[in-house]
Structure 1
């Protein structure tokens, strides 16, 4: 069964959550039933199906965020939170 395509908020709305240095706060839910992005209070809520094993969930988070922003994953850098649910990602322009 094909999994449904994730719904994304507009890229402009996602970028509006970033600070002046392009840093974006994320709250991640790994192992979710459905992948998606939601705008939260000052942070982006990210749900990925991938389980948090060997950095696979972090890679899935960056891929999902890059797709929502229309960027390559190389344009994103995880600054903080590699082992936690709260992460800080920088958008490199």
Structure 2
């Protein structure tokens, strides 16, 4: 994988997410590169984008996938946008390895 939607920081990792609310299920859908060249981690959730419900659901999908407490994942920017930036506290190198594994295409 050449372009990654995450980067390590001294506090952990930042990940760029493309949200799909009312997506029928709560799941990570891998990485895509948008037409503008921006890589994003696709996350779909059942929650509607009302009163922060979809943002909370995305945070929950991320924390469960990484095995972290909810307090480790915070929305940094994009509360009302489709493209969001989440900060995840922890060991940046270890989190990056976890994201690498999560971004791999799943055999069906």
Q: Deviations over 1:29-73 (max 9, x none)?
A: 001112210221332100000001100110011011100000011
TM-score by length of 2: 0.67
1:49 aligns with 2:69: no
The ranges of structure 1 where at least 4 consecutive aligned residues each deviate by more than 2 angstroms after the TM superposition are none
Which residue number corresponds to residue 18 of structure 1? 6
Task: Find the aligned partners of 2:25 and 2:76 in 1 and give their Cα distance.
Answer: 25
2:18 is matched with which residue: 20, 24, 27?
27
Give the TM-score normalised by the residue count of structure 1.
Answer: 0.77
CA contact (8 A) 2:77 2:86 kept: yes
Query: Which structure is larger by alpha-carbon Rg, 1 or 2?
Result: 2
User: 1:18, CA displacement in angstroms?
Assistant: 2.0
Structure number with the higher strand fraction is: 2
Greater RCO (Cα-Cα under 8 Å, separation 6 or more): 2
Question: What CA RMSD, in Å, does the superposition of the two structures yield over aligned residues?
Answer: 1.3
Task: Note the residue ranges of structure 2 that are not aligned, 5 or more in a row.
Answer: 34-38, 91-108
